[in-house]
Amino acid sequence: MDIREKVKENFRFELVHKDKNSNARAGIIHTPHGEIPTPVFMPVGTHGAIKALQPNQLTDMNVPIILSNTYHLHLTPGSDLIKKMGGLHKFMGWDRPILTDSGGFQVFSLQGNSITEEGSKFILPGGKEILLTPETSIDIQQNLGSDIMMAFDECIPYPADKKYTKNSIDRTHRWLDKCIETWDNPNQALFGIIQGSTHDEFRDECLEEVVKRDLPGYAIGGVSVGEGSDLMEKIVKRTGPKMPTDKPRYVMGVGMPEDLMMIWEHGMDMSDCIIPTKFARGGTLFTNRGKIRITHKNYRNDKFPIEPNLDDYVNSNFSRAYIKHLFDSNEILGQILATAHNIAFYKSLADRAREAILEDRFLDFKQEFLQGYLKNDGNKNKKRR
């Protein structure tokens, strides 16, 4: 039996409801480590950890899935060691689903790499070289034991001309076939990635080629790479509704609340980004009335919680004044509470979006949220999607 047939026994997507007034949809992704209600935002734990938080804190917030990084875990401590320790779930003390990216984004983001038909060569600090290939990427991810593996691809930089884009997506399709040939664990689902830069014809071509492989899920890659919000929306709006309705749809690397609203409206189910955790550690916190910089002097005597309408642990127990004090005092608890708040806010946003979709009022929910969020967010001139 083909691996793609075997994996259907352990992984499937259930479409629960589609909003009557948009392409927004609510579903459930069934995996060996639990169910993932969608739409879902995945916090990023690059090295097998969400910075500043313990796994049980994520469980208490009912976060259903996290993302970890293949490339970085390959460098340290090494996927062989993690496999010997019982896999990434056991290694990091997390018993819910994990998605691992392929290392393809690092082909785009890290300097000193070279791309060949075989794969991508990375030059590490000190001059050491490593070669990441489609085969090694899948081998590493299978050692990690993630529930969802991403195919190894090239994240095309912006801007990219048509010749470069065509050569890149053709290679990505060949790499995808090598990923499928290497994949042999039916407990792990492999997602294909749709590239094509900002060129409609290549996005369509890549979508057609990737979907031909009949994979458990599909992702839109190559956005949030400098193309701007208008081009990002153009890509997602065109590609999202064309993706199979019976498989999860994932937009990689999208994390601002206004962009989440956009991708959800166009039928996407999953997204991830470092923004909520990275911003939190710097003192930027998300609220329904926009972002706030907690270190600002205005919060010195503020007795209110960060977000009064959120009943999570942080907002039920601590004031803005206290969290500002922690940052001013360089107390690590400040970063911990800020990170917990931002993740709870993003979780709440996805939950509220799901509820609105189930009640066929997503567009009203989106408009109401953005009116409040953008009004006080310093984005008065920003397009309100």
Residues that are catalytic = 101, 272
For residues 110 and 116, the answer to whether their CB atoms sit within 8 Å is no
Token pair in block for residue 37: 């209600």
CA gap 243, 25 in Å, rounded: 13
Q: What is the DSSP letter of 239?
A: H
Task: Specify which residues 287 forms β-bridges with.
Answer: 290
CA gap 215, 249 in Å, rounded: 12
CA gap 373, 248 in Å, rounded: 28
CA gap 383, 231 in Å, rounded: 13
CA gap 32, 331 in Å, rounded: 39
For residues 266 and 23, the answer to whether their CB atoms sit within 8 Å is yes
Residue 268 falls in which region: left (phi positive, over 0), alpha (psi -120 to 50) or beta: beta
CA gap 78, 184 in Å, rounded: 20
For residues 49 and 92, the answer to whether their CB atoms sit within 8 Å is yes
CA gap 164, 154 in Å, rounded: 11
Place of tokens 């970063």: 335
CA gap 69, 65 in Å, rounded: 14
